[in-house]
Structure 1
Amino acid sequence: MKNFRTPENRKDLEVFLVMLDFYERFLPNKSAVLEPLFQLLKKEVPWELKGKHAKSFEVPKKLLMAHNVLIRYSIDLPLILAGVALAFCVTAVLAHKPSNEIKAPIAYGSRILQKREKTTHQLDKEALAISFGIKKFYQYLAD
């Protein structure tokens, strides 16, 4: 990922975004970080990978190279599910809280809001973020 070349067109960008889907659980706020790149995929937006678009291309590569390590799931530790709703996406994080230590993430998830969802009240978006997290991490939460 570190050496992935800068996309020259929409097709190259699509390849990059598909590759990032594999690493989604390692990328906090993936949808929020990549939102400018998703905008570039729209046909009515002129192709120009500069400014916020170029930054949005570099951030996930840096996040994947950082030492923000996820911990392994343990059935013996309590789980914490947190959700956040932004104007254009919802994100969720599943974490453990080992004893009195800082929360340790197990996995991250996020998705872009659909057009009709963007117009809903903020409280409804927050509920959607939690609902998304429950569906995303069901295999950990079901017991």
Structure 2
Amino acid sequence: MSRKTMVLEVIGKLDVSEETKLLSKVEEDDVNGFQVLPSQVESVRRIFQRHPDIASKFRPKNQHLRTIYINVLLNLNQTMCQPTQELSKDDLNDAYASLAYLTDAGLNLDWLEEKLEEKKEKQEAGKKRMKEVIDYT
């Protein structure tokens, strides 16, 4: 058995235009020490206005980690804004996991935990009512 091997020599260099380089850099704004996208600024500001002590015990100093945590918080907050009937059991389980992840890092999210508990109770009450209707018919 013989194998043929082809070796190619690459001559030249990759020419990346300045425009492409600029597009690859994402613009971010600083809100309370967190780097966020311009589209997220208002949401993050609103959270810090309503809950000023949210990050008083937040431990991560690395800016990339801080950005990840704030994005998880924004996604969790977005989930909590959905109508209860649109949330699945998996959605709520994911929300609890996200909440644990964020609170383990030192974020004070008692208000969000209460909101999550309310969603869970409403969902369970809705399922109970549906079962009663089904059993009644």
Place the TM-score, normalised by the shorter chain, in its bin. Answer: under 0.3
Instruction: Mark the structure with the bigger radius of gyration.
Output: 2
TM-score (norm 2): 0.23
Point out the structure with the larger helix share: 2
TM-score (norm 1): 0.23
Higher relative contact order, chain-length normalized (CA < 8 Å, sep 6+): 1
